[in-house]
Amino acid sequence: QVQLVESGGGLVQTGGSLTLSCATSAHIFNNNAMGWYRQAPGKQRELVARITSGGLINYADFVRGRATISRNNANNTATLQMNNLKPEDTAVYYCNAFGVGGHIWGQGTQVTVSS
């Protein structure tokens, strides 16, 4: 059962922009912080950005100033917009919901930034 449905990955040139979206159920959306993680080949999964149900946001240092995370309460979707993309941003990006029930993960979407 897929609980987090991601979309928006793809191939982009250096300096370009990309928007990732994560749709889920109202129950999951309203009871969890929503976030995006990424994992590059040979590296650990790392947090990119997270937004709580109350709207508190934190960004990883490597995307601060280049990314915007938001929640759309009307359609239970969390969105991550990334600008000025760099080749080192190439990774599989995972949507994450985190709350008292623990972590829920999406299936991942590939983002490739060409130099």
pLDDT > 90? residue 1: no
Sign for the pseudo-dihedral over CA of 69, 22, 104, 102: positive
The answer to whether 55 touches 44, Cβ cutoff 8 Å, is no
34 secondary structure, DSSP code: E
The answer to whether 103 touches 36, Cβ cutoff 8 Å, is no
How far apart, in Å, do the first and last CA atoms of the chain sit?
37
Nearest of 11, 29, 22, 21 to residue 81 by alpha carbon:
21
| The pLDDT value given to residue 3 | 92
9 secondary structure, DSSP code: -
- pLDDT tens for 48-98 read 999 999 999 999 999 999 999 999 999 999 999 999 999 999 999 999 999
Hey, what are 57's tokens? Answer: 């946001």
